[in-house]
Amino acid sequence: MLNIHDILETINMIKDENLDIRTVTMGISLFDCVSEDENRLNDKIYDKITKSAENLVSECSEIEKQYGIPIINKRVSLTPISLVGGALPSESYVRLAKTLDRAAKTLGINFIGGFGALVQKGMTLGARNLIEAIPQALAETEFVCSSVNVASTKAGINMDAVAEMGRIVKKAAYLTRDRDSLGCAKFVAFANVPDDNPFMAGAFHGVGENEKVINVGVSGPGVVASAIKRAGDVPFDELAEVVKKTAFKITRVGQLVAHEASTRLGVPFGIVDLSLAPTPAVGDSVAYILEEMGLEKCGCHGTTAALALLNDAVKKGGVMASNHVGGLSGAFIPVSEDAGMISAAASGALTLEKLEAMTAVCSVGLDMIAIPGDTPEDVISAIIADEIAIGVINNKTTAVRVIPAYGKKEGDSVVFGGLLGEAPIMRVSTYSPSRFISRGGRIPAPIHSLKN
């Protein structure tokens, strides 16, 4: 039974500590839309999306009113479009992206994900054509997000795809150069991508999912930071217990919203992603959590250990609060979307190399990092390769979303606004990995992938 203390505590989390439901994402299968006629394919996809999610925004608004819980984003994720479009030429994939964008506008959602491909072992013709279309598709749409899975622990790393990602990112940066290379903020390269992630830019509807599904992503870095502050300088085992109990409370709110959304929309509940997703708002920062633990500045020595404790405790608390936890789940460290990370990067305390080390123990990877616009393609590919290797060897999801901001150099900044925030341009090593990247082929799967 609920008591007055629990109710007041939740109200305080929402009012003063930035607790929110970061996203309610409806996943939609598009396999029944396949058609050899391009116009028919576009029409069927548009109709399927708009009919399936026609009440998503209105029902989420009603849940907000009923429970007083902010739901920041309403999103749709789709079957990877390369699996639906097949051998369409690249220009047809661009037109398909515009169909997705039109559907998103009709629904009034924030983003639509799934314009992507799974190429961890090799590329089909459809995947190759879609990848070629990504820069133009992102430049000419507003709401479409794209992801490509280039590696898995089972398959190894498709280095041909990784090399291609450097070129795609650079082209997307150029085509959106009038908007601080915003196109790159809507694209992410993955290793071990989860099928049920509700967060953009990497959300898509996995091939083993229901026809439709509701996935919810919770947030609450400010809540965790406040709990740690109240606890004071307790030993680490007690500190972990504080984070665990707080994560449980946050995830229960997500479970409630997920159940309500599923019931109201008549769509099966999928998972709650219990990630601590920050925002540029002061106080809503994963970096501030780490600093509340006792670090002078996020990025100093000890940051990786602090993040490891946080990530593990969040998962332990969250899995007790929901029957189905999935997605990425843990702590996000996107630079531009986290006020504390922005400050740490601007001061020089947080470097690209330190961020890479931190990704070995957190939920995802190098996220929303702005780098000089003249960074070569092969360097971007090598940044991706390094991060993807962490995921493959450690059997975890990792990803890269970097923004080579056209015309910008170290010390400048990019400004996207909203949840995407702003970021200082970070230093990148100028030593060349060109010969390494040009080898191509596939880095074999690690020995621990042989589990059959």
Which residue in this structure is represented by tokens 């020089």?
A: 348
Instruction: Find out whether the peptide bond into 201 is cis, omega within 30 degrees of 0.
Output: yes
Residues 19 and 223 sit within 8 Å (Cβ to Cβ) = yes
**Which residue intervals of 200-235 are DSSP H helices?**
221-231
Task: Determine the Cα–Cα distance for residues 199 and 122; give it in Å rounded to an integer.
Answer: 25
Number of other residues whose CB lies within 10 A of the CB of residue 416: 20
**Alpha carbon separation from 240 to 56, 228, 314, 316 (Å, rounded):** 36, 9, 9, 10
Closest CA to 376 of 442, 443, 431, 436: 431
Residue 6's pLDDT is what? 56
Task: Determine the Cα–Cα distance for residues 119 and 150; give it in Å rounded to an integer.
Answer: 5
User: How remote is the C-alpha of 440 from its chain's centroid?
Assistant: 27
User: How remote is the C-alpha of 301 from its chain's centroid?
Assistant: 26
**Alpha carbon separation from 410 to 171, 192, 351, 371, 422 (Å, rounded):** 20, 31, 12, 7, 14
Residue 2's pLDDT is what? 46
Task: Determine the Cα–Cα distance for residues 92 and 133; give it in Å rounded to an integer.
Answer: 9
Helix (H) or strand (E) holding 206: none
Residue 266's pLDDT is what? 95
Residue ranges in the chain modelled with pLDDT below 70: 1-18, 282
Give the strand pairing for 187-191 and 398-405.
antiparallel
Task: Determine the Cα–Cα distance for residues 72 and 233; give it in Å rounded to an integer.
Answer: 33
Length, in residues, of the chain = 452
Task: Determine the Cα–Cα distance for residues 254 and 276; give it in Å rounded to an integer.
Answer: 12
Helix (H) or strand (E) holding 323: none
List the beta strands (DSSP E) in 211-292.
212-218, 269-273
Residue 297's pLDDT is what? 96
157, β-bridge pairs: 151, 443
Residue 361's pLDDT is what? 92
Which one is the CATH code of 25-191: 1.10.10.10, 3.90.79.10, 3.20.70.20, 2.160.10.10? 3.20.70.20
Residue 113's pLDDT is what? 96
pTM over cut 0.85: yes
Residue 1's pLDDT is what? 47
Helix, strand or coil, per DSSP, at residue 78 = strand
**Alpha carbon separation from 103 to 165, 267, 316, 324 (Å, rounded):** 27, 19, 38, 29
Q: Which two tokens stand for residue 1?
A: 């039974």
